[in-house]
A and B are shown apart, each in its own frame.
Chain A
Amino acid sequence: MPRYLVERTFKDGLHIPTSPEGAKTCLSVVGNNADLTVTWIHSYVTEDKGMTYCIYDGPNAEAIRKAAERNGLPVDRISEVSVLDPYFYH
Chain B
Amino acid sequence: MVLVGGEAGIGKSALVDRFCGGLGRDARVLVGTCDALSTPRPLGPLFDMSDALGDPFAQALGSDSRDGIFDALLRELRASPPPVVVIEDAHWADDATFDLLRFLGRRIGSTRALAIVTYRDDEVRSRHPLRAVLGDLATSASVIRLGVPALSRAAVAELARGFDVDASELHRTTGGNPFFVTEVLAAGGSVMPTTVEDAVNARASRLPDGARGALDLASVIGSEVDPEILTALGATPSDIEAMLDSGILRAAGPRIAFRHELVRDAVYGGLSVPRRRELHRRVLAWLSHSDVARDDPAVLAHHAAEAGDGKAVLRFAPVAAARAAALRAHREARAQYARLIPYLSGLADERRAELLDAYSTECTIGDAFAEGASARRQAIDIWRRLGRPTRVGLGLSLLAQAELGLGRDADAEASNDEAIRVLEPLAPSLELARAYWYGAVICASAGDTAGVVEYGTRAIELCRTLDELPMMANAHNVIGGALLAVGDEEGRAHLARSLALGRELDTPELIADAHVLSGTAAIAAHRFDDAVRELRAAAAIAVERDHDNIRHDAMAKLALALLYLGHLNEAADAAMAVAARPLVAAYSRMTALLALGRLRARRGDPGAMEVLDEALELAQRSGSPGKALPIRLARAEAAVLSGDTHRALEEAEAARACLPDHRVPWHVGELAYWLASIGKPDEAPTAAAEPYALQSSGAAAAAAAAWDALGCPYEAARARSDADDPAMVRQALDALNELGARPAAAMTACRLRELGVRGIPRGPRPSTLDHPAQLTRRESQVLALLAQGLRNQEISARHAVSARTVDHQVSSILAKLGVRSRTEAVAEAHRLGLLDEDRQRETAS
Whether A78 contacts B126 by the Cβ 8 Å rule is no
Q: A4-B606, A62-B576 are in contact. Are A76 and B138 (CB under 8 A)?
A: no
Residues of B693-729 at the interface with A, using a CB-CB cut-off of 8 Å, are none
| Chain A neighbourhood of B607, CB < 8 A | 60-61, 80
| Chain B neighbourhood of A61, CB < 8 A | 600, 603, 605-607
| Chain A neighbourhood of B596, CB < 8 A | 62
Contact code string B370-397 (vs A, CB < 8 Å = 1, else 0): 0000000000000000000000000000
Shortest Cβ gap from A65 to chain B (Å)? 7
Complex Cα gap A75–B605 (Å): 11
Whether B576 contacts A77 by the Cβ 8 Å rule is no
Question: Does B145 sit at the interface, judged by CB under 8 A?
Answer: yes
| Chain B neighbourhood of A62, CB < 8 A | 572-573, 575-576, 596, 605
Question: Does B821 sit at the interface, judged by CB under 8 A?
Answer: no
Shortest Cβ gap from B117 to chain A (Å)? 15
| Chain B neighbourhood of A59, CB < 8 A | 126, 580
Shortest Cβ gap from B459 to chain A (Å)? 40
Query: Quick one: which of A35, A66, A69, A78 contacts B606, CB cutoff 8 A?
Result: A78
A75 — nearest CB in chain B belongs to which residue? B740
Residues of A8-30 at the interface with B, using a CB-CB cut-off of 8 Å, are none
Whether B569 contacts A35 by the Cβ 8 Å rule is no
| Chain B neighbourhood of A77, CB < 8 A | 604, 742
B571 — nearest CB in chain A belongs to which residue? A62
Whether A65 contacts B742 by the Cβ 8 Å rule is no
Complex Cα gap A78–B604 (Å): 8
Residues of A60-90 at the interface with B, using a CB-CB cut-off of 8 Å, are 60-63, 65-66, 69, 75-80
Whether B742 contacts A37 by the Cβ 8 Å rule is no
Shortest Cβ gap from B130 to chain A (Å)? 13
Residue from B596, B600, B606 with most neighbouring chain A CB atoms (10 Å): B606
Whether B605 contacts A78 by the Cβ 8 Å rule is yes
Q: A60-B607, A61-B607 are in contact. Are A76 and B742 (CB under 8 A)?
A: yes
| Chain A neighbourhood of B134, CB < 8 A | 35
Whether B572 contacts A65 by the Cβ 8 Å rule is yes
Residues of A27-59 at the interface with B, using a CB-CB cut-off of 8 Å, are 35, 37, 59
B599 — nearest CB in chain A belongs to which residue? A62
Whether B606 contacts A80 by the Cβ 8 Å rule is yes
B121 — nearest CB in chain A belongs to which residue? A34
Whether B606 contacts A37 by the Cβ 8 Å rule is no
| Chain A neighbourhood of B576, CB < 8 A | 60, 62-63
| Chain A neighbourhood of B606, CB < 8 A | 2, 4, 61, 78-80
Query: Quick one: which of B145, B575, B600 contacts A35, CB cutoff 8 A?
Result: B145
How many of chain B's residues have a CB under 8 angstroms from any CB in A? 19
| Chain B neighbourhood of A63, CB < 8 A | 576
Complex Cα gap A79–B742 (Å): 12
Whether A37 contacts B126 by the Cβ 8 Å rule is yes
Complex Cα gap A69–B224 (Å): 45
Complex Cα gap A2–B610 (Å): 13
| Chain A neighbourhood of B572, CB < 8 A | 62, 65-66
| Chain A neighbourhood of B742, CB < 8 A | 76-77
Shortest Cβ gap from A7 to chain B (Å)? 10
Complex Cα gap A65–B580 (Å): 16
| Chain B neighbourhood of A79, CB < 8 A | 606
Shortest Cβ gap from B649 to chain A (Å)? 26
| Chain B neighbourhood of A80, CB < 8 A | 606-607
Shortest Cβ gap from B7 to chain A (Å)? 14
Complex Cα gap A37–B606 (Å): 18
| Chain A neighbourhood of B604, CB < 8 A | 77-78
| Chain B neighbourhood of A75, CB < 8 A | 740
Shortest Cβ gap from B10 to chain A (Å)? 15
Complex Cα gap A61–B572 (Å): 10
Whether B126 contacts A35 by the Cβ 8 Å rule is no
Query: Quick one: which of B138, B145, B569, B575 contacts A69, CB cutoff 8 A?
Result: B569
Shortest Cβ gap from B442 to chain A (Å)? 33
Shortest Cβ gap from A83 to chain B (Å)? 16
Shortest Cβ gap from B203 to chain A (Å)? 34
Complex Cα gap A63–B126 (Å): 13
Complex Cα gap A62–B592 (Å): 13
Whether B605 contacts A35 by the Cβ 8 Å rule is no
A69 — nearest CB in chain B belongs to which residue? B569
Shortest Cβ gap from A77 to chain B (Å)? 6
Complex Cα gap A61–B145 (Å): 24
Contact code string B573-599 (vs A, CB < 8 Å = 1, else 0): 101100010000000000000001000
Shortest Cβ gap from A81 to chain B (Å)? 9
| Chain A neighbourhood of B603, CB < 8 A | 61, 78
Shortest Cβ gap from B710 to chain A (Å)? 25
Shortest Cβ gap from A76 to chain B (Å)? 7
| Chain B neighbourhood of A37, CB < 8 A | 126
Contact code string B606-635 (vs A, CB < 8 Å = 1, else 0): 110000000000000000000000000000
Shortest Cβ gap from B635 to chain A (Å)? 18
| Chain A neighbourhood of B600, CB < 8 A | 61
B145 — nearest CB in chain A belongs to which residue? A35
| Chain B neighbourhood of A65, CB < 8 A | 569, 572, 605
| Chain B neighbourhood of A66, CB < 8 A | 569, 572-573
Whether B740 contacts A35 by the Cβ 8 Å rule is no
Complex Cα gap A66–B575 (Å): 13
A59 — nearest CB in chain B belongs to which residue? B126
A34 — nearest CB in chain B belongs to which residue? B147
Complex Cα gap A4–B603 (Å): 15
Complex Cα gap A75–B134 (Å): 25
| Chain A neighbourhood of B740, CB < 8 A | 75
Shortest Cβ gap from A50 to chain B (Å)? 14
Shortest Cβ gap from B612 to chain A (Å)? 14
Complex Cα gap A68–B751 (Å): 30
A81 — nearest CB in chain B belongs to which residue? B606
Complex Cα gap A37–B576 (Å): 14
Shortest Cβ gap from A47 to chain B (Å)? 20
| Chain A neighbourhood of B145, CB < 8 A | 35
15 A-B residue pairs with CB within 8 Å:
A4-B606, A35-B138, A59-B580, A60-B607, A61-B603, A61-B605, A62-B572, A62-B575, A62-B576, A62-B605, A66-B569, A75-B740, A78-B603, A78-B604, A78-B606
By a beta-carbon cutoff of 8 Å, the part of chain A in contact with chain B is: 2, 4, 35, 37, 59-63, 65-66, 69, 75-80
The 10 residue pairs across chains A and B that have the minimum distance between CB atoms: A80-B606, A61-B605, A62-B572, A78-B605, A62-B576, A61-B606, A77-B742, A79-B606, A61-B607, A35-B138
Known: A61-B603, A62-B596, A78-B606. 19 other contacts (CB 8 A): A2-B606, A35-B145, A37-B126, A59-B126, A59-B580, A60-B576, A60-B607, A61-B605, A61-B606, A61-B607, A65-B569, A66-B569, A66-B573, A76-B742, A77-B742, A78-B604, A78-B605, A79-B606, A80-B607
